[in-house]
Amino acid sequence: MSFFRTSTLHLSTLHTKLRRELWQMRGQTLAIALVIAGGIAVCLLSLVNYSSLTATREQYYQEHQFADVFADLKRAPRHVLQRAADLPGVTRLSGRVEGVAKLEVPGFSDPASARLVSLPPVGQPDVNRIFLRNGRLPHAAHSDEVAVIGSFADAHDLRPGDQLGAIINGRRQTLTIVGIVESPEFIYVIPPGAMLPDYDRYGVLWMPEEALASAMDMRGAFNSLVLQVDPSFPVAGVIDLLDRLLAPYGSTGAYAREDQFSHRFLSDELNQLKTMALVFPTIFMAVAMFLLNVVITRLISTQRDIIAVLKAFGYGNWQIGWHYSQLVLAIALIGYAIGTAAGLWLGRALGVLYMEFYRFPELLFRISPWWLLLLGLLTLLVAWLGGWRAIHHAASLPPAEAMRPEAPASYQVTLAERLLSWIRFSQPSRMIVRQLARRPARAALSVTGIAMATAIVMVGNFQFSSVSLMVYTQFAKVQQQDLTVSLTDPVHQSAMYGMARQPGVRYVEGRRVVAVELVNSHRQWRTALTGIPDQARLQFVVDEHLNQVPIPPAGLLLTDFLATRLGLAAGDTVQVKVLEAERPVLDLQVAGVTSEFLGVGAYMNLAAMNRALKDGAVVNQVLMNLDPDQAETVYRDLRDTPRVMALNVRQAMLDSFFETLAKTFLTFTWVISVLGGIIAFGVIYNTVRISLAERGRDLASLRVLGYSHNEVAHILLGELAILLILGIPLGWAIGHGLASLVVTMMQTELYRVPLIISGRTLALAANVVIVSALVSGFITWWRLRNLDLVAVLKTRE
C-alpha cells in the first residue's frame, strides 16, 4: 500500500509541476500550439470541403437522377428512344431537344446567350431532373414560358414574371420567366468556346418540349439523349452500343459522366482539395515536429538540476519520461483543439464560397468523426515523436550527471573568430560570434527553424504571382481579340470580309474548332482541335517563356499536360476521331509539344486541318478587334445576324476568371498565407525565448558586471539577427523546392499553376519572418529589462 501511496504522491507532484510549467511557458506553449494548429486547420478545412462537397454532389446526383451517359446528335425520330431503352444495361433515359438562343436582357447591353433544353409535357424528365429554387416549371400549353438557371438569374436579379427577348433559330420572341432552377448537369456553366463560367453573359433555359421543338424545327424528333446505366453493367459497353444505334442520325459520339464538362471540372476541383489536404498539412506538421524537438531538447537542457532532484527523491526513469511526454502531449492537444475549431470554421466559410461557385441547392456539411479521431491520434504521435529523443535523454540521465552543470564550452579562439579577425568587434559582438561558433549544432537547428518558417510563408504566397502570370499569359499574350464570335456551322472564310466591313470592327481573324477524341493505344481524351491560320495575330500559342510558338504546317501541336496524359511525344502518331459531320478518323503525327496554363489544347494549321477533313476554306469562329466606342453597336448587329451562336467578350472572361477560379483559389491561398505567418511567428518566438532561458544567468551576470540593458539585449538580439541572415536565404531555397512539389501535385485539366517565385514573394516571406523577429525581439527586450537578477543568479553551489 505504501508503494501505491508513494506513486500516487509522485504523480500528483509531477502533475503540479506540469501545470506550473505550462503556465510559466504559456507564451512558448501557445506559439508551438499555433504551429500545430496551422497544420490541423489546413488539413481540416480541405477535408471538410472535400467531404462536404463530395457528399453534397453525390446526394444531388442521386436525388436528381444525373445521367451516366450523354449523346448529342443532329436529329433522330422519337421512336429511336425505345430502341435505346432496350439496350442492355440502360435503366432509364430522356430524349431531349436542345438549342441555342441569343438573349436581350433588360438593362444589360453586352451580348448574352443561353443553352435551351426541353422539358417533357408533364412533370420532370426521367434523367437530369431539375431543382426548383423559386416559382414553378413552364406549362406545356404556354410556349413562351421558361425556367432559368439560378446563376444567370442571380447575375441579373431576375425573378418569376420577368421577361427576356430571345432569338431562337433566327426567330425573335419574348420569353416569360416562371421559375428559377438548378441542375446537376450545369453545376459548372461554361459558354461555347470558353474555359470559364460567365454568369452575366451565358445561362441555361428550360422550355416546354413542344415549344422548343417547334422553334428548332424538331417536331417528333430529338437531338440530345441522356441515360442512366445499371451499376453492374460496364458503361463503355453501353456507349459502344449507343454509338452504333445513333450513328445514322449524326451522333457526335456518346460519352460517359467522367467526360461531361461540368462533372469533370468539379471532380478536378475536389481532387485538388484532397491534394491540399495532404500536401500542406504534411509540410506544416513537419515544421511542428522539428520545432517540438528543438524546444523540448533545449527545455530539458535547462532543467538538468530539476531532473537530478526528482531522481534523488525516488522518481524513476519511466515517471520522468512520462512527465515530459505529458508536457509534449499537452501542447499538442492545445494545438489540436485550436486547429480543429479554426479548421471547422474556415471549412464552413470556404464551403459557403464554393456554394456560390458550384450552385448546389444546399451544402451538406460533413466531416467524419473517425477523421477527427485519426487526426488527433496522428497529432499526438507526431508531437511525441518530435520530442522523443529529448524525452529519452531526460529519462535516462543518471542523477549524478544531472546534478553537475553541463561541461563548459572550450574557451579558445574559434575558427570564425580567426576568419573575422580583421573586423574590430565590440565585446558584445565578439560574444555573439563565440556563442554561435562554439555551439554549431544548436545554431544550425535555429537557422533551420527560421528557414522552415520562411519556406512556409513562401509556399502560401507564391501562387499570387503564379496566378498573375496565368492572367497575363492568357488574356494579354495569348488572347488579344476583343470579341470571339462562335458560329452554328462552319462558313467559308469569305464571310469574314462582310463582318470586317461592319462599323466598329477594326480587324477580324478566323479559325476552326472541332470536337475530337484523341486515342493512343488504351488512352483517350475528348477535347477540341483548334485550327489556327498562318501568321495569327489575335490568338496564338505561347511556350513557357511566353514566346509565340509557330503552328507546324502539318501535324498536331499538343500541350504538355495532354501529351503526358496520352503518353505522346513529338514524332508519335495519334488517332484523331472527329466527332462532327461525317466523323472521319485520322492518323496524324504529333509535330510538337508546348506548355499552356489554362485548359487542354490541341492545335493544327487551319489550312492543313481543312485539307485533312476534306473541307474547303471554312471557319466556325471569328475573332475581332473592336472600336470601344462602337462595341455595343457591333454586339447588337451580331446578335441579329443569322448563324451566330454565341459572343464571348475577352474582358468578360477576365472578369469571370477573378470571380470564379481566382476567387476560390486565392481565398484558400490567403488562408494558407495567414497560417504560414502564424507558424513563422511561432518558430521565431520560441527560438528567442529558449535562447533567453538558456542564457539568462550569463546575461544577468553581465548586468551585474556593469553592462547596460541595451548592451545585454544586443548580445541576444544580435545572435538572432545573424540567424535570420543565414536562415532566410536557406528558407528561400527550401521554399522553392516545396513550391515545386505543390505545383506538381495540383495540376488539373482546368489550369496548371506555373512555378513563379517573384522578388515580391521572396521579399514578403523575408518580411514576415523579420517582423516576427522584431515582435519576438521586443518581447525579449522587455523581459530583459525586467529581469530579476537575484533570482536568476541563484545557483546550487
**CA 222 – CA 353 distance, rounded (Å):** 37
Given pLDDT bands bounded at 50, 70 and 90, which one contains residue 302? low
C-alpha cell of residue 345: 470554421
Question: pLDDT tens digits for 544-555?
Answer: 677 778 888 888
* pLDDT at residue 38 is higher than 80: no
Q: Work out the average pLDDT over 645-659.
A: 75
Q: What is the pLDDT of residue 635?
A: 85
**CA 139 – CA 120 distance, rounded (Å):** 10
**CA 443 – CA 659 distance, rounded (Å):** 47
* pLDDT at residue 366 is higher than 80: no
Distance of CA 567 to the CA centre of its chain: 25
Instruction: Provide DSSP, 656-686.
Output: HHHHTHHHHHHHHHHHHHHHHHHHHHHHHHH
* pLDDT at residue 796 is higher than 50: no
* pLDDT at residue 292 is higher than 70: no
Question: pLDDT tens digits for 152-181?
Answer: 999 899 999 999 999 888 888 999 999 999
Q: Work out the average pLDDT over 60-66.
A: 93
Under 8 Å between Cβ of 87 and 243: no
Q: What is the pLDDT of residue 794?
A: 57
Q: What is the pLDDT of residue 797?
A: 40
Distances in Å between the Cα of 735 and the Cα atoms of 38, 106, 401, 467, 776 are: 17, 51, 41, 18, 23
Q: What is the pLDDT of residue 589?
A: 92
Percent of the chain with pLDDT over 70: 83
Given pLDDT bands bounded at 50, 70 and 90, which one contains residue 662? low
Question: pLDDT tens digits for 577-601?
Answer: 888 777 888 999 999 888 777 667 7
Given pLDDT bands bounded at 50, 70 and 90, which one contains residue 658? low
Verdict on whether the full-model pTM lies above 0.85: no
Q: What is the pLDDT of residue 668?
A: 67
* pLDDT at residue 666 is higher than 70: no
Which of 204, 159, 157, 211 lies closest to 185, judged by CA?
Answer: 204
* pLDDT at residue 691 is higher than 80: no
Percent of the chain with pLDDT over 90: 21
Q: What is the pLDDT of residue 46?
A: 76
Q: What is the pLDDT of residue 787?
A: 62
Q: How confident is the prediction for the chain on average, in pLDDT?
A: 81
20-34, 65-79, 424-438, range with greatest mean pLDDT: 65-79
**CA 459 – CA 254 distance, rounded (Å):** 42
Q: Which range among 290-304, 633-647, 721-735 shows the weakest confidence by mean pLDDT?
A: 290-304
Which of 159, 167, 178 lies closest to 113, judged by CA?
Answer: 167
- What is residue 302's three-state secondary structure? coil
Q: What is the pLDDT of residue 749?
A: 63
CA angle 374-377-378, nearest 5°?
85
Q: What is the pLDDT of residue 1?
A: 46
* pLDDT at residue 73 is higher than 70: yes
C-alpha cell of residue 104: 436581350
Q: Work out the average pLDDT over 240-269.
A: 87
Distances in Å between the Cα of 257 and the Cα atoms of 69, 85, 117, 226 are: 6, 18, 18, 10
* pLDDT at residue 130 is higher than 90: yes
Q: What is the pLDDT of residue 5?
A: 47
* pLDDT at residue 407 is higher than 80: no
* Domain annotation for the chain: domains and CATH numbers: 1-62+260-407 (no CATH), 63-259 (no CATH), 418-480+651-797 (no CATH), 505-626 (2.40.40)
Q: Which range among 26-30, 78-82, 213-217 shows the weakest confidence by mean pLDDT?
A: 26-30
Q: What is the pLDDT of residue 380?
A: 86
CA angle 147-152-157, nearest 5°?
95
Distance between start and end Cα atoms, the chain: 37
**CA 269 – CA 749 distance, rounded (Å):** 10
